[in-house]
Amino acid sequence: MAEERLKSATRILTQRGILIAFILFMVGFSVVSDRFMTADNLQAVFRQAAIIGVMALGVTLVVICGNLDLSVGSLLSLSTVLVVDLHDKIGPISAIAVTLLAALAVGAVNGLLVGVARLNSLIVTLGMLSAIQGLTLIYTGGQNVDIQNQDTTWFAIFGRGAILGVPTQILIFVVLAVVMHVVLAHTPFGRRVYASGGNPTAAVFSGIRRGRVVLATYMISAFCTGIAAIILGSRVMGSQNNVGQGYELLVLSAVILGGTSLLGGSGSIAKTVIGVLILGFIQNGLLLLGFAYYVQWLVTWVVIILAVWLDIAAKRGRMFSPFA
């Protein structure tokens, strides 16, 4: 009886451990800080998490398909610089269009190299991260860019506006999350993504053109990063050359925290949204408690290790594995 209870507890912990930890974090922060659960603070967390969340939606598809995308941070820098710099030169609508097309082009290159040329996704996207950052510096000449007449442009609605009292960036995140959930969970394309990540060889023999699926996931990831860049540029009305530095780690952390397996084949958009919120509330709670910013990285590291451990434990059916 005791052994069955232990197995049951282990199964619950491996399957729902991160959610349980999230609830404990929320309760703990609420008890310690009376500002944590206020409406203003909650809205601030959602606003801050929206950019990472939008990017994480696209990266989720890439990871479920069995690959990685470490180029999203530099792509965010390039896309934000583009939309801000072109705003005054060709107008906001054209600037948005060019930015999204440039992002899709980067996603296509990643997808072709990984999906068609069958190169390692870690190496490809790590190299692309460096290349895009170099292109950003070349494009700007090392100078930061800003939008003139910031108070008169409608472009501000994406990062500073609100619809029916809800910040626009939160609405964009929610709408994209719903659309991506439907695509991933209820369409043939979504099933092909899971199949390609779960068992690539079987997927190919079953008639799935895995190269095309990989290409599509990278283009979706790049498109989401372009959307995030538009939100960020609209909110700041300017951009530094390295504004996206470190975002690739935050985004991947949110995806992992949401339970998407780095081994591919499992995960969901809903879980990624939970992962984004976990990351956002942990960071916000630590700041409210007066901890230095760098403490967030240490706590995030611990939570990520825990998430990966639980993911592997769920697949092998036990929390610990004896030494070989």
Residue 254: C-alpha distances to residues 102, 136, 142, 167, 226 (Å) = 25, 26, 30, 21, 18
Q: Which pLDDT belongs to residue 164?
A: 86
Domain membership of residue 321 (yes or no) is no
Domain membership of residue 257 (yes or no) is no
How many domains would you assign to the chain? 1
Q: Which pLDDT belongs to residue 81?
A: 96
Query: Residue 222 class from Cβ within 10 Å (0-12 exposed, 13-18 middle, 19+ buried)?
Result: buried
Residue 244: C-alpha distances to residues 133, 185, 210, 217, 251 (Å) = 9, 30, 30, 21, 11
The token pair that represents 172 in the structure block: 């964009």
Domain membership of residue 282 (yes or no) is no
* 203-255 residue pLDDT tens: 888 889 999 999 999 999 999 999 999 999 999 899 889 899 889 988 998 89
Domain membership of residue 195 (yes or no) is yes
pLDDT over threshold 60, residue 64? yes
Residue 61: C-alpha distances to residues 30, 57, 118, 207 (Å) = 33, 7, 18, 20
- Position 283 confidence tier, pLDDT thresholds 50, 70, 90: confident
Q: What is the mean pLDDT of the chain?
A: 87
Domain membership of residue 268 (yes or no) is no
* 151-177 residue pLDDT tens: 889 999 998 889 888 899 999 999 999
Say what the pTM is: 0.90
CB 226 within 8 A of CB 79: yes
Domain membership of residue 20 (yes or no) is no
Domain membership of residue 29 (yes or no) is no
Domain membership of residue 256 (yes or no) is no
The domain of 189 spans: 37-245
